[in-house]
Amino acid sequence: FSGWPKCCSLHPVALLPLTLILAFFGYCFLSPGSQRLENLLPGARAPLLLQSCDFHANSFTAFYSFRMMYPQPKVLTLCRSDVLVLTPWLAPIVWEGTFNIDILNAQFQLQNATIGLTVFAIKKYVVFLKLFLETAEKYFMVGHKVNYYVFTDRPADVPPVPLQEGRQVVVLQVRNYTRWQDVSMHRMEMISSFSRQRFLREVDYLVCADVDMKFSDHVGVEILSSLFGTLHPGFYAADRQAFTYERRPLSQAYIPRDEGDFYYAGGFFGGSVLEVHRLTKACHQAMMVDQANHIEAVWHDESHLNKYLLYHKPTKVLSPEYVWDERMLRRPPFLRKLRYVAVPKNHQAIRN
């Protein structure tokens, strides 16, 4: 700068804050996290990283002043020694005792994340919706923003339920189908379609759940990751040869008997909106190929879900705490919590 007029030169001390500011904004905008596909789609929500990097007068103070007191994790002390807590591809398996929900809540509050919960209340299954929503308000993502996406052919029958601040019920009217199998399989098509049309703009994560269930204990941000599946309560201890995968090679859901990690439940899965869109779109396309070949997978959309998760490994796996049926299964001693459980069905009451 020696040849510049004095008024245009930069003192070396002034370069330091300028360099820090440029580095800060360069990290926010050029980091791999900000270049994800969902952040580049037209109308998509602002990336979580950029939301946390909004520049306000007190943003640095708010970001770094947070303080928590909790027991130090011990490298040589197992959090659980009675169950598997890590998959061979290094995805955590979520059990009670493997996480600190206060730490996780604080981290997700920094992200300002909104969670979408999809549920299908088609035909007379709308009778389960009130209990589902009431228990979700008590136990699901408490303290976080939630959109309940209710797919139904009976929007007038969606019950009013008091909601916490920052939470809403969004009713999405869809057609019904004669067979329950068709209703089940078309869930993948509908979730895929609405993910592209609106979910990418409205929420950061999607959780896809069955309606004939209720939340009975805490289900929070510990479940969230890019892609998660839930261990089926009937097969968590079974060998892969006993899994009820689709075994007919003609089906797109076919899995040979010498393959398979876990058997995942079709009633509770999710992840980022982009990953859920990829999963549901792939499953729907596979079911359309099966339909053209006049074959229907043995467990319908659940069979295709298991095929997808075998070759697209989930980044987090939920234990059977997150799907359980007390009517059919005796609770084992290592199952410390029952978080999401089947509701006893009175078929006569449903018909009435």
Distance CA(200)–CA(126), nearest Å, equals: 26
> Residue-wise over 151-189: b if at least 16 C-beta within 10 A, else e?
bbbbeeebeebeeeeebebeeeebeeeeeeeebbbbbbb
To the question of whether residue 77 is assigned a binding role by annotation, the answer is no
- The annotation status of 153 as a binding-site residue, yes or no, is no
Compute how many other C-beta atoms are within 10 angstroms of the C-beta atom of residue 227: 22
Structure tokens at 46: 């602002």
Q: Is 134 a catalytic residue?
A: no
| Helix, strand, coil abundance in the chain, percent, nearest 5 | 40, 15, 45
Does 325 belong to an annotated binding site? yes
* C-alpha to C-alpha distance for 324 and 218, rounded to whole angstroms: 14
Rg (CA), the chain: 23
* 30 residue type, one letter: L
177 marked ligand binding residue: no
Residue 125 assigned ligand-binding role: yes
Decide: residue 203, CB within 10 A, 0-12 exposed, 13-18 middle, 19+ buried: buried
Say whether 232 counts as a known binding-site residue: yes
Q: Which residue among 134, 302, 321, 326 is the active-site one?
A: 302
Is 113 annotated to bind ligand? no
Q: Which residue has the tokens 């994790």?
A: 73
Q: Would you say 210 is a known binding-site residue?
A: yes
Please check if 212 is assigned to a binding site. yes
244 is in an annotated binding site: yes
Nearest to 258 by CA among 240, 235, 231: 240
Asked if residue 114 belongs to a known ligand binding site, the reply is: no
How many other CB atoms are there within 10 angstroms of residue 212's CB atom?
18
What are the catalytic residues? Answer: 302
Q: Which residues are annotated as a binding site for UDP-N-acetyl-alpha-D-galactosamine?
A: 120-122, 125, 210-212
Q: Which residues are annotated as a binding site?
A: 120-122, 125, 210-212, 232, 244, 302, 325
Q: Which residues are annotated as a binding site for Mn(2+)?
A: 210, 212
